[in-house]
Amino acid sequence: MPAVGGVGPGTGKAYPGNLTPYVTVTCIVAAMGGLIFGYDIGISGGVTTMTPFLKKFFRSVWEKKEADKSKNQYCQYDSQTLTMFTSSLYLAALLSSIVASTVTRRLGRKLSMLFGGLLFFAGALINGFAKAVWMLIVGRLLLGFGIGFANQSVPLYLSEMAPYRFRGALNIGFQLSITIGILIANVLNYFFAKIKGGWGWRLSLGGAMVPALIITIGSLVLPDTPNSMIERGQTEEAKAKLKRIRGVDDVEEEFRDLVAASETSKLIEHPWRNLLQRKYRPHLTMAILIPFFQQLTGINVIMFYAPVLFSTIGFKDDSALMSAVITGVVNVGATVVSIYGVDKWGRRFLFLEGGVQMLICQAVVAACIGAKFGINGNPGDLPKWYAVVVVLFICIYVAGFAWSWGPLGWLVPSEIFPLEIRSAAQSINVSVNMLFTFAVAQVFLTMLCHLKFGLFLFFAFFVLIMSVFVYYFLPETKGIPIEEMGQVWKTHWYWSRFVEDVDYPNGGMEMGKGGQGVKDV
């Protein structure tokens, strides 16, 4: 059996530094950038089950839903216009993350966050006051632009700020905010849907202005990362900042490595074209496959459409929204488990355990829905225990995702790219993520209509593939300083063929046996 996990724990490098209150608070504020993304994920699915909203903007869907009451449940929400409402945002996010790459690199991570907040605010404002479908779509495009900027910059910011031993935990603050955003949105939908007069959806959509303000203000008060300051020529300030962040005076070694990484980075004129070089093959592969796999877990079927899905399988509108709240709570709780475990148990363990858990649950849910709804989608009366079992397994599935692919889908890419390609590669990560979020959102209702319960088996198949991929191809990155990451590829049974020692003058070149050697810079 090859050494599939890559190097052992640690690199032999141990930069001094603590988890200072300063860095903790900074990371918490920055991580709140995930709120806008989460709020939107949670709000859109719920809003599309609100009858007044459907009647106003998507009347044909509402009429079909009314007419279909006792017929094929699998197809009652199948409408391209309705899915376009949800998914248009992701196309916008895809485009803006590419622009954000340049802003993040040239002007700093903070400015990208600021743009993210402002664009999202504008989108929320337009949506809250929408009078016609075009206003909804324009609003959603702006929200998407905002998310592209935020998701491009926040994970990088966190990984650069964090002391390497706590990088996993601090970075997952981003995912925690996403899940909190989703939960808040689900709870608000539940209450706003009850507002008499049927204008509650305006509050749901307009409410996005609050998380937008949080990231906007946050970005103004946050410091820049030392990596980014060095990259932009502010070397002395960067050193002082590093001392402040780490809470120690002895930052020489880390500082030297950051400067060296920046020198290498300056030699690169075209970060995009550069990504195609052979030595970046492992990075490029991960930048594409990790987000692709994250979306192919099928998680957003639950996140966007939990209310739709639950009402499809027989819950009343109100209890469907309530069940979405329950999965939301599980999502937050399991993310906290990940924060606790990621720097202890490592990334690979979480990926693999989460994969097995999701696979089992998807098979059970497919079997349950198949058994009751069969092929024609007409279940007759559903007993209560049945709904409870389905919700239970969906919750276990969500937990599996929330401590594996959810947070790690953002953490791992943000920590494996060398500085010279970091912004560009992160944009690829965000774009691919958004592309497949879009694809899943756009085709899910049609797939449910055609594949029926087999839809869950479709995603289960991908979960199997991605777990095998992680087992063989993803090296462990726990406890390795970010500018030292080159070594994980060099000692990997497969990726080592793509990278030469000279490729990583700043990446743990002279590794001793077992990954414990110390590099001399």
* Stretch 424-453: interaction string toward ligand BGC, x if CB under 6 A: ---------x---x----------------
Cβ proximity of 300 and 440 under 8 Å? yes
Look up residue 497 and give its DSSP letter.
G
Burial 450-467 (b: 16+ CB within 10 A, else e): eebbebbeebbebbeebb
* Stretch 30-49: interaction string toward ligand BGC, x if CB under 6 A: -----------x--------
* Stretch 165-204: interaction string toward ligand BGC, x if CB under 6 A: ----------x--xx--x----------------------
Cα 430 to Cα 298: distance, rounded to the nearest angstrom: 17
By beta-carbon proximity to ligand BGC, the closer residue of 176 and 321 is 176
By beta-carbon proximity to ligand BGC, the closer residue of 179 and 189 is 179
By beta-carbon proximity to ligand BGC, the closer residue of 302 and 364 is 302
Q: How many residues bind ligand BGC (CB under 6 A)?
A: 15
**Token pair belonging to 246:** 């780490």
By beta-carbon proximity to ligand BGC, the closer residue of 251 and 434 is 434
Interface segment toward ligand BGC; rule CB under 6 A; list 117-125, 403-411, 441-449, 473-481: 403-411
Please state the closest distance from residue 41 (CB atom) to ligand BGC, in A.
5
Helix axes 133-161, 109-128, angle to 10 degrees: 160
Please state the closest distance from residue 408 (CB atom) to ligand BGC, in A.
9
Please state the closest distance from residue 70 (CB atom) to ligand BGC, in A.
32
Binding of ligand BGC at residue 404 (CB under 6 A)? no
By beta-carbon proximity to ligand BGC, the closer residue of 295 and 491 is 295
**Token pair belonging to 89:** 């945002």
By beta-carbon proximity to ligand BGC, the closer residue of 42 and 486 is 42
By beta-carbon proximity to ligand BGC, the closer residue of 183 and 209 is 183
Nearest by Cα to 72 from 370, 309, 375: 375
Cα 237 to Cα 254: distance, rounded to the nearest angstrom: 15
Q: What count of other Cβ atoms lies within 10 Å of the Cβ of residue 197?
A: 6
Where do runs of H (alpha helix) occur along 162-251? Answer: 167-192, 200-206, 209-221, 226-231, 235-246
For 444, residues 6+ apart whose C-beta sits below 8 A from its C-beta are 83, 300, 301, 304, 305, 455
Please state the closest distance from residue 181 (CB atom) to ligand BGC, in A.
9
Using CB under 6 A, which residues numbered 316 to 375 contact ligand BGC? 331
Left (φ > 0), alpha (ψ -120 to 50) or beta: where does 515 sit? left
Interface segment toward ligand BGC; rule CB under 6 A; list 57-65, 72-80, 299-307, 499-507: 299-307
Please state the closest distance from residue 295 (CB atom) to ligand BGC, in A.
6
Interface segment toward ligand BGC; rule CB under 6 A; list 105-113, 298-306, 308-316, 374-382: 298-306
Interface segment toward ligand BGC; rule CB under 6 A; list 59-67, 402-410, 450-458, 510-518: 402-410
**Token pair belonging to 197:** 């007069």
Nearest by Cα to 482 from 454, 512, 507: 507
**Interface pick for ligand BGC out of 5, 409, 507, 515 (rule CB under 6 A):** 409
Please state the closest distance from residue 111 (CB atom) to ligand BGC, in A.
23
Cβ proximity of 394 and 297 under 8 Å? no
Using CB under 6 A, which residues numbered 378 to 397 contact ligand BGC? none
**Token pair belonging to 352:** 């693999």
Cα 347 to Cα 344: distance, rounded to the nearest angstrom: 9
By beta-carbon proximity to ligand BGC, the closer residue of 180 and 259 is 180
Binding of ligand BGC at residue 147 (CB under 6 A)? no
Cβ proximity of 53 and 195 under 8 Å? no
Count Cα atoms within 13 angstroms, Cβ side, for 481. Answer: 22
Give the footprint of ligand BGC on this chain (CB under 6 A): 41, 175, 178-179, 182, 294, 299-300, 303, 331, 406, 409-410, 433, 437
